[in-house]
Amino acid sequence: MPMPMSIDVHVSGDLMDTRLRGGERHGLELARALRACGHRVRLFCRGPVPESELHQLEGLPVVRLAHPSTLPLLWRLGQLGSVVGYARELRRHRPLADAVLALSPWSALAARLVARKNPIVYVVTDLLCASQAFEEGRPFEFPNGSWRGMGLDAWLEQQAYRTSGRSVLPAEWMRRGLISGGVPEKRLVVIPAGASATPSNAHDRESARQQLRLAADSFIVLFVGAATTRKNPAVLVEALAHLPAHVHAAFAGDGPELDRLRQQAIRLGVAERAHFLGWLPDPAVAYAAADVVCHPALYESYGLVYIEAMLHRLPVLGPTHRPTQVYGSAPELIADGVDGLLFDACDARDLARQLQSLAEDPARTKQMGERGHQKASGFSWVGYAKSVERLLHDLGARQHHS
């Protein structure tokens, strides 16, 4: 049995905020699971505070650092200045842990500056330059030319892959691309994350639909996520125009594209069938109300929503990985026609055809949901943490003998 370790987990956002983004949720779930495995865990995050503060979150110590941007002249260098400033903050919090798990390239590089002899693992939740490109509507090609024209931030992201002891990736397509882009293969390992939601028995289908004001006799397609260009909810609104009147879509989440989506629904004549639920503190009620889940993101490094949907016994529809228009792990998680369906995220008619095939065959839909549940039951945060634990011990042994 591996010996307990002292592990620092660094996330890029603020864990003390009321709403956690994907990276913060990932870091918190990983920290909880590592603690369940017997390790001593300390969390680092950034927040709007004048100086470093120590907090407790679910019994976990949290070091909340101010955003480092005060070093003279370095603010002009963007994230490079942030790396140096962050490293300066970290030096105030010794003794150092046995290992560091960093959930952003900037914190991975800062930790390397401070903890030169400790294993540093970059836990990748996103290809940040890819995410930035998709949100800004710019062309993106991965791996060839994927970082061209993106400046110093892109270079720093590449350095995090090349200098960390290992980078833990959520999907195989990312590993292949990074190797093709020049990152040494030995520094990359794929470990699919655990599921970030546990199905709740507090909601049955009828009461969930009543709570969300959804028609009891409609076929509900659920979208869970931020309403952004990258997540591509617009293709689901467009697909409604090609579907029978009893097919409705529910959108759980907020974001900058919400008003545009509402206007699109009005323009296409489907406003009464597009339901915008806003941000839900517990999306379990939305899963309970749904028949299927659709996640049509144009770029998604992993997509925990696929596993969450399967845990709720719902078939999931995800986009085919098709560079340079669509990048995602849906084909790695969804067995097409078995526990979900794949579709072209740039073709609303293709999505509509797939949805209609499920709406017309309830028995098939239910069977897919059951198969997905069997698959998703094999994903857990503790299992994920144990894989990371083995990696850390391996790195420690290698460094000890070097």
**pLDDT at site 233:** 97
Residue 248 sits in the same domain as residue 178? no
Q: Is residue 337 part of a domain?
A: yes
Residue 303 sits in the same domain as residue 388? no
Contact status, residue 317 vs residue 384, Cβ threshold 8 Å: no
Residue 145 sits in the same domain as residue 245? no
Please name the helix (run of DSSP H) or strand (run of DSSP E) that holds residue 172, with its range, or none. helix 172-180
Rounded Cα distance between 5 and 388, Å, is 12
Mean pLDDT, residues 261-274 taken together: 97
Question: Does the pLDDT of residue 76 top 50, yes or no?
Answer: no
Residue 374, burial from CB neighbour count under 10 angstroms (0-12, 13-18, 19+): exposed
Q: Is residue 199 part of a domain?
A: no
Residue 176 sits in the same domain as residue 271? no
Rounded Cα distance between 80 and 28, Å, is 26
Question: Does the pLDDT of residue 402 top 50, yes or no?
Answer: no
Residue 72 sits in the same domain as residue 130? yes
- pTM for the whole structure: 0.88
Q: How far is CA 91 from CA 18, 87, 358, in A?
A: 28, 6, 56
**How does residue 214 score in pLDDT terms, banded at 50, 70 and 90?**
very high
**pLDDT at site 348:** 98
**pLDDT at site 130:** 79
- pLDDT tens per residue, range 271-315: 999 999 999 988 899 999 999 999 999 999 888 899 999 999 999
Mean pLDDT, residues 371-383 taken together: 93
**How does residue 390 score in pLDDT terms, banded at 50, 70 and 90?**
very high
Domain with residue 230: its CATH number is 3.40.50.2000
As a whole-number percent, the residues of the chain with pLDDT over 70 amount to 89
Q: Is residue 158 part of a domain?
A: yes
- pLDDT tens per residue, range 130-182: 777 777 777 777 776 656 656 677 788 888 998 899 999 999 999 998 898 88
Residue 341 sits in the same domain as residue 240? yes
Residue 234 sits in the same domain as residue 327? yes
Rounded Cα distance between 312 and 260, Å, is 30
Contact status, residue 8 vs residue 101, Cβ threshold 8 Å: yes
**Does 248 or 71 have the greater pLDDT score?**
248
Q: Is residue 232 part of a domain?
A: yes
Q: Which of 3-17, 60-74, 76-90, 254-268 has the highest mean pLDDT?
A: 254-268
Mean pLDDT, residues 37-48 taken together: 90
Q: Is residue 52 part of a domain?
A: yes
Q: Is residue 200 part of a domain?
A: no
Residue 37 sits in the same domain as residue 184? yes
Token pair 């296409």 is found at: 268
**Does 326 or 77 have the greater pLDDT score?**
326
Max Cα separation, the chain? 67
Rounded Cα distance between 208 and 203, Å, is 6
> What's the domain range around 216?
205-376
Q: Is residue 163 part of a domain?
A: yes
**pLDDT at site 11:** 92
**Does 96 or 238 have the greater pLDDT score?**
238
- pLDDT tens per residue, range 104-125: 998 999 998 888 788 999 999 9
Neighbours of 149 (CB within 10 A): 9
Residue 256 sits in the same domain as residue 127? no
Residue 57 sits in the same domain as residue 132? yes
Please, what is the average pLDDT of the chain?
87
Rounded Cα distance between 9 and 123, Å, is 10
Contact status, residue 237 vs residue 266, Cβ threshold 8 Å: no
The number of distinct structural domains making up the chain is 2
**pLDDT at site 146:** 59
Question: Does the pLDDT of residue 236 top 90, yes or no?
Answer: yes
Residue 20 sits in the same domain as residue 132? yes
Q: Is residue 1 part of a domain?
A: no
Question: Does the pLDDT of residue 379 top 60, yes or no?
Answer: yes
Contact status, residue 395 vs residue 166, Cβ threshold 8 Å: yes
Question: Does the pLDDT of residue 73 top 50, yes or no?
Answer: no
Residue 269 sits in the same domain as residue 257? yes
- pLDDT tens per residue, range 323-367: 888 999 999 999 999 999 999 999 999 999 999 999 999 999 999
